[in-house]
Amino acid sequence: MSFLPAPLLVRSNAPLARVTGVTRLAAGVLWLVAAAAIPDARGELVLLVTAVVVLVAWSGIPLRPLPRRMWPVALGALGLGLTAALGNAADRDLALPTLLALGPLRLTPPGLEAGLALALRVLVIGLTSLLVFAPADLTRLADALVQQLHLPDRLAYGSVAAMGLAPRTAADWQATGAARRLRGLAPRTPAGRLAAVPGRLLVVLVMALRRGERLALAMDARGFDSGLPRSRYRPVHAGPLDAVVLAVAVATVVLVVLVQQAG
């Protein structure tokens, strides 16, 4: 019925699941900055290997469903890597040795290096996002954002509530298509399908807005955002484990820089 993926069942006692969402975000942002800044493939490889080790040892994320989830990232990495490798400026430098020739395209060592670096970078970004967001549910992340970064409750928990409505909206979208088919209005061409989108979107949006409005009223009726200070049912405390995770993130980045300078 729904095209939203089922959530991954993550082991909740895994180290990454026990640190706060803000810790994971901070470590993740550090890695992403490093991944973006590093020019060569060796540095990216260090990040990738570390990410895989963290995934297997620390994340509690089940590995079996991952290929099905992550294949778009892998495909993107491959595509971007190939493009960068074969479209590299160095590939036109005839002084460089040819590693591989594909018709008019040739692969040179700098091209290979650039392609590898980009492919690895995409993989690191995908895996880092997984490590940041998958280990704990949305509630915990909202808790951490509110309690540690002092994001407004309305924004954080409003988003949590809105996400709960997403499956219904996805189902509505499919139902609008089904209704049109039954009424003899199914578009027969891709162009027709595209032309039907605004009408279906309008229906889905109207319904989603109504539903959101009802949810907001229900939240108000329960005293949400009424001006009283909220108490916390799930207090968020950063502990030694948070320090360890941050230290590992920093250490990896330092290692990457050292590998660069050694090379």
Q: Which residues make up the interface to other proteins (CB under 8 A)? A: 1-2, 4, 6-7, 9, 137-139, 157, 160-161, 163-165, 167-168, 172, 175-176, 178-186, 188, 199, 203, 206-207, 211, 214-215, 217-235
Using the minimum distance from each CB to other proteins, give the nearer residue, 1 or 102.
1
Q: How far is the CB of 11 from other proteins (least distance, A)?
A: 13
Q: How far is the CB of 212 from other proteins (least distance, A)?
A: 8
Which residue intervals of 134-187 are DSSP H helices?
A: 138-149, 153-182
Using the minimum distance from each CB to other proteins, give the nearer residue, 1 or 262.
1
Amino acid at 41: A
Using the minimum distance from each CB to other proteins, give the nearer residue, 216 or 255.
216
**14-to-23, 60, 203 alpha-carbon distances in Å:** 14, 5, 42
Q: How far is the CB of 236 from other proteins (least distance, A)?
A: 12
Q: How far is the CB of 228 from other proteins (least distance, A)?
A: 5
Using the minimum distance from each CB to other proteins, give the nearer residue, 197 or 247.
197
Is residue 215 classed exposed, middle or buried when 0-12, 13-18 and 19+ CB atoms within 10 A define those classes? middle
Using the minimum distance from each CB to other proteins, give the nearer residue, 88 or 176.
176
Amino acid at 13: N
Let me know: does 124 contact 35? Beta carbons within 8 Å.
Answer: yes
Using the minimum distance from each CB to other proteins, give the nearer residue, 30 or 186.
186
Let me know: does 130 contact 28? Beta carbons within 8 Å.
Answer: no
Enclosing H/E stretch for 245: helix 240-262
Using the minimum distance from each CB to other proteins, give the nearer residue, 4 or 243.
4
Q: How far is the CB of 148 from other proteins (least distance, A)?
A: 17
Residue holding tokens 């061409």?
189
Q: How far is the CB of 2 from other proteins (least distance, A)?
A: 5
Q: How far is the CB of 151 from other proteins (least distance, A)?
A: 15
Amino acid at 123: L
Q: In angstroms, rounded to a whole number, what is the distance separating the alpha carbons of residues 186 and 192? A: 8
Largest CA-CA distance found in the chain, in angstroms, rounded: 74
Q: In angstroms, rounded to a whole number, what is the distance separating the alpha carbons of residues 204 and 202? A: 5
Fill in the DSSP letter of residue 104.
Answer: T
Let me know: does 15 contact 245? Beta carbons within 8 Å.
Answer: yes
**φ/ψ (deg, to 5) at 85:** -70, -45
